[in-house]
């Protein structure tokens, strides 16, 4: 009976670790895909700035979508790790092994203790999304507006306002996702 319970706990642990690995891979795909997409768009703009400058307004869309996915994966990874730490390492294994404290097991407990001392989430979790997804999106919208004010970019006003509004909405959603991700992971 105890062996079956232990096997069930190990299976659950392995499935959760696989999910963490899958989401980490998805995060890397988001970064790679956004770098490639933005690189293509910037090289297009560099070829003929007058003709392709309106493409600037699409960059926040791309960064926001990939950023939101990256941040969602970040929250899920954190919550999965927290579940492993609190439920599997903290309750299920000690109950099965009839011990109130198991100091010899648990990566999640180890990293939690390190973060507790530091009182700040990982730089990758906090700074990367802000400097990679949020700031460039805002810069692109500002650059677009400046180029529009100086008459370098001309588009039909209706299309222009729709593109700008969508870009700004995406940036707001991205900022909200970044804030929620930070709130989920800070100090835990």
Q: Name every residue whose Cβ is closer than 8 Å to that of residue 181 and which is 6 or more positions away in sequence.
A: 71, 74, 75, 125, 129
pLDDT band at residue 52 under the 50/70/90 scheme: confident
Each residue's pLDDT tens digit, 28-39: 999 999 999 999
CA distance 111 to 114: 5
Question: What residue segments make up the domains of the chain, in order of their start?
Answer: 2-185
What local confidence, expressed as pLDDT, does residue 103 receive?
56
CA distance 181 to 159: 33
CA distance 88 to 18: 15
Average pLDDT, the chain: 85
What local confidence, expressed as pLDDT, does residue 21 receive?
96
What local confidence, expressed as pLDDT, does residue 54 receive?
87
Each residue's pLDDT tens digit, 4-17: 888 888 899 999 99
The SS3 call for residue 105 is coil
Instruction: Provide the 8-state DSSP code for 55.
Output: G
Ranges of H-type helices in 53-155:
59-83, 93-96, 107-118, 123-128, 135-149
Question: Is it the case that residue 79 has pLDDT exceeding 80?
Answer: yes
Each residue's pLDDT tens digit, 164-187: 999 999 999 999 998 888 888 775
Each residue's pLDDT tens digit, 82-135: 898 888 888 887 787 776 555 556 767 676 776 666 655 566 677 888 899 999
Q: Name every residue whose Cβ is closer than 8 Å to that of residue 182 and which is 6 or more positions away in sequence.
A: 121, 125, 126
Q: Calculate ∠ Cα 33-143-154, nearest 5°.
A: 100
Concatenating the DSSP letter of every residue in 4-45 gives HHHHHHHHHHHHHHHHHHHHHHHHHHHHHHHHHHHHHHHHHH
What local confidence, expressed as pLDDT, does residue 94 receive?
78
What local confidence, expressed as pLDDT, does residue 104 receive?
54
CA distance 85 to 62: 35
What local confidence, expressed as pLDDT, does residue 168 receive?
93
């Amino acid at each position: 009976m105890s062996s079956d319970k232990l096997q069930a706990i190990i299976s659950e642990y392995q499935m959760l670790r696989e999910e963490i690995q899958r989401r980490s891979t998805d995060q890397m795909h988001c970064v790679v895909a956004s770098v490639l997409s933005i690189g293509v768009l910037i090289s297009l703009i560099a070829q003929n700035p007058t003709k392709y400058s309106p493409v600037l307004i699409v960059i926040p869309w791309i960064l926001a979508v990939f950023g939101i996915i990256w941040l969602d994966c970040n929250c899920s990874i954190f919550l999965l790790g927290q579940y492993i730490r609190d439920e599997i390492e903290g309750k299920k294994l000690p109950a099965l092994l009839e011990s109130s404290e198991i100091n010899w097991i648990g990566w999640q407990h180890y990293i939690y203790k390190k973060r507790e001392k530091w009182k700040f989430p990982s730089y990758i979790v906090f700074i990367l999304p802000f400097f990679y997804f949020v700031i460039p999106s805002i810069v692109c919208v500002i650059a677009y507006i400046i180029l529009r004010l100086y008459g370098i970019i001309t588009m039909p006003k209706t299309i222009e306002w729709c593109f700008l509004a969508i870009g700004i909405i995406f940036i707001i959603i991205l900022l909200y996702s970044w804030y929620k991700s930070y709130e989920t992971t800070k100090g835990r």
